[in-house]
Amino acid sequence: MSRSMVGAPKPDWTDPDCPVARTLDLVGDRWSLLVIRDAMDGVRSFTEFQRSTGIARNILTDRLGKLTAHGLFAQRTAPSGRRREYVLTDAGRELFPVILTLRQWGERHAFAPGETHSILVDQHGTPVPEIAPTGADGTLLDTGTTHVRKVR
């Protein structure tokens, strides 16, 4: 079990042996992913998360609690000293490639040609290049060039 899971309540895993299923059990609903996306964009407070996503307070409370309990967020006192804020942990920040891949898939498949949408750019304003998984030898990986192997 990873360090981020130590002390977290044990979920009822959908498929205990599958990393994809376990990940989806932790972050696979739309609200969790949108909260993580917003945190990557600098949102920190409960109010900002609610305003940005339109999520109901009770659902946001649940998602932030779950994401914090499982080590994706940490709570700290805001610079003002009056409120608590949520910040991504290393484990939460490691979801960046996942969010980026979802974003890029959406740019290609979730909009009609010419439909207005956002894009992710680097600090110079250049669109972020497409993510393409490659093997150790540099070859492009896809469903035809990979398979699952169980490890113990």
Let me know if residue 134 belongs to a domain. Answer: no
Which residue do the tokens 């207005």 mark?
A: 116
What is the value of pTM for the model shown? 0.85
Q: What is the distance between the alpha carbons of residues 72 and 91, in angstroms, rounded to a whole number?
A: 5
CATH number for position 10? 1.10.10.10
Let me know if residue 104 belongs to a domain. Answer: no
Let me know if residue 120 belongs to a domain. Answer: no
Contact between 78 and 85 under an 8 Å Cβ cutoff? The reply is yes
Let me know if residue 25 belongs to a domain. Answer: yes
Let me know if residue 34 belongs to a domain. Answer: yes
Let me know if residue 142 belongs to a domain. Answer: no
Residue 2: per-residue pLDDT = 55
Residue 16: per-residue pLDDT = 85
Query: Which residues of the chain are modeled with pLDDT < 50?
Result: none
Domain that holds residue 80: 3-95
- Tell me how many domains the chain contains: 1
How does pLDDT run across 56-81, given as a tens digit for each residue?
999 999 999 999 999 999 999 988 88
